[in-house]
Amino acid sequence: MRTIQLKNILTGGLMACVALTACTRENFFDDPLDAVPTDIAFSTPERIEKSAVGMYSALQNINWGCGRNLIYADVQGLDANPNNFFNNVGFFDLMRPNDVTITAAWSAAYNTIYTANLFVKNFQPKQSLVTPAKADQYIGESEFIRAYNYFYLVNFWAQPYTDTIKGPDANPGVPLILEAADDPFGAGNLVQRASVKAVYDQIEKDLKDAAIRLPEDYGDANSRVTRATKGAARALLMRMYLYKGDWANAVTYADSLINSGLYELNPTPATLYRNYTTKESIFSIAFSGSNNPDRNNALSAHYSPTVRGDISLSNAFLQLMDTTIDLRYKDLVITTVRGTGPSASTYYWSTKYTSFGDWVPVIRFAEVLLVKAEALARQGIPTAPLNTDALGCLMRVRARSNGGPMLAATNAQLIQAILKERRIELAFEGQAYFDLQRTRQPVPPHASIQHEQPYGSNYRVWPIPQRDMNIMPDLIQNPGY
């Protein structure tokens, strides 16, 4: 990964709290507010706090954390129709190492990791300026942000952990950069790809340590959702264990969240997308009207027909629900007609995202219930009667949305019902394609995808950007590219 040596640490939230208010300065001759010399940025507890908030500003970047990483997982799934605005992401065998969208995403993810690593490097010599609890918090936040980015990197650019063809030890993952190097071309940055297992091990290590260091809460509703907490770290660990197929640990961490009393389902599925700080939200990336990622990058820009309207909903998704009663259709889907006369066509759109200030939902409580349901069901004998605890978790989510009856008599049938429910409930939140990957399912023809992409196809993982292949000759390109 190529990084740029920085004289100043970037603190995009220097004059803002996580609520992200606008910044001002006295005159045009002052230094920019987002470029503060390191010795000043870490000189007082107040400045260290603002530098820590800067890690979240990096997480908002327009090619990745603004929600683009969620979009890319959606358009490769079955429920959102791909669109060439994102170049060839979503079109599988058309992807190439010089794809500008893929290259920008890779760079943005690693730049966010670099910002977290750089914060730690500059903070550690100054950590005596803050209380031990604050020092733990800041280190935990950096670990959480790094783990979050590596989780998406390894799932886009590598085979899933559950791959049975080679396995996680043999499959190459992505480069692990754990320190901010002074020399961007130093040996610390010019590294080979770690195995998928090694990347997951690092994610697990970071999140377990973060779960120890981080607070349960910050005392205000915004920060509880937009800054990493113990609950956020445990929730991402839970998801990671699900993706690994470690059912027992997935249940353990799901239970830690369920039994905490801190989280609960909202009365209706639409509430979360209009009120970002409810107890259903465990972690989100915050935006406001003054720092949105614009009409070419915000989630609403692509999902809403009133802006760009790039991502319409597939017929396959609509057929998952009883559209006469399910609130996830009635309250979160709208239709438009494009064209006139015989050429008129009806399009369906998600209304989860309607404003440039929409927050990016990373982890929420409904997912916790569905993870526990799946992990419990998978521990049972497939042909045995279904696990009633798993069924109960599933039905809590389904009943909230008036999803109707669910028929299953065995654990195998229950697992299929849970996977279907995940497609409905977590739609357009960045997990659709990863569920196909971790369960080793083919991607059938749909929308403009004319040919099936079987599991194991070279084009089920992204190419390493050619720019980085040129800079780092020891990188191994994914097969087929």
74-120 residue pLDDT tens: 999 999 999 999 999 999 999 999 999 999 999 999 999 999 999 99
Count other Cβ atoms within 10 Å, centred on residue 225: 28
Between 416 and 21, residue with greater pLDDT: 416
Helices 68-75 & 100-123 angle (0-180, nearest 10):
140
CATH number of the domain residue 135 falls in: 1.25.40.390
Answer whether residue 327 is part of any domain: no
Cα(481)–Cα(477) distance, rounded to whole angstroms?
7
Answer whether residue 130 is part of any domain: yes
| Residue 11, pLDDT score | 34
Answer whether residue 249 is part of any domain: yes
Q: Do residues 139 and 208 touch, judged by C-beta distance below 8 A?
A: no
Q: Do residues 154 and 458 touch, judged by C-beta distance below 8 A?
A: no
List the beta bridge partners of residue 283.
Answer: 363
Neighbouring residues of 65: CB distance < 8 A, sequence distance ≥ 6:
58, 59, 108, 112, 149, 285, 360
Helices 230-244 & 132-157 angle (0-180, nearest 10):
30
Answer whether residue 248 is part of any domain: yes
Under DSSP, is residue 200 helix (H, G, I), strand (E, B) or coil? Answer: helix
Identity (one letter) of the amino acid at 70? L
H-helix segments, 311-379: 315-318, 327-330, 365-379
The boundaries of the domain holding residue 127 are 8-292+358-369+430-454
| Residue 182, pLDDT score | 84
Identity (one letter) of the amino acid at 158? A
Question: Where is average pLDDT lowest: 34-38, 146-150, 300-304, 443-447?
Answer: 34-38
Cα(161)–Cα(175) distance, rounded to whole angstroms?
16
| Residue 188, pLDDT score | 66
Question: Where is average pLDDT lowest: 31-45, 259-273, 384-398, 453-467?
Answer: 31-45
| Residue 35, pLDDT score | 62
Dihedral, 69, 208, 50, 181 alpha carbons, nearest 10: -80
| Residue 4, pLDDT score | 34
Dihedral, 138, 140, 145, 146 alpha carbons, nearest 10: 110
Average pLDDT, the chain: 91
Give how many domains the chain has, as a whole number.
1
Answer whether residue 99 is part of any domain: yes
What is the mean pLDDT of the segment spanning 169-176? 98
Answer whether residue 54 is part of any domain: yes
Phi, psi of 193 (to 5 degrees): -75, 130
Cα(35)–Cα(60) distance, rounded to whole angstroms?
17
Residue with tokens 């989860």: 352
Between 413 and 290, residue with greater pLDDT: 413
pLDDT digits (tens, 9 = 90+) for 22-73: 333 333 333 344 567 888 999 999 999 999 999 999 999 999 999 999 999 9
Answer whether residue 218 is part of any domain: yes
Q: Do residues 154 and 478 touch, judged by C-beta distance below 8 A?
A: no
Answer whether residue 460 is part of any domain: no
H-helix segments, 327-410: 327-330, 365-379, 388-400
pLDDT digits (tens, 9 = 90+) for 261-295: 999 999 999 999 999 999 999 999 999 867 777 78
Checking if the pLDDT of 404 tops 70, the result is yes
Residue with tokens 């899933």: 160
Cα(232)–Cα(417) distance, rounded to whole angstroms?
26
Reported in sequence order, the residue ranges of 234-355 that DSSP labels E, i.e. its strands, are 281-285, 333-338, 345-350
pLDDT digits (tens, 9 = 90+) for 202-235: 999 999 999 999 999 999 999 999 999 999 999 9
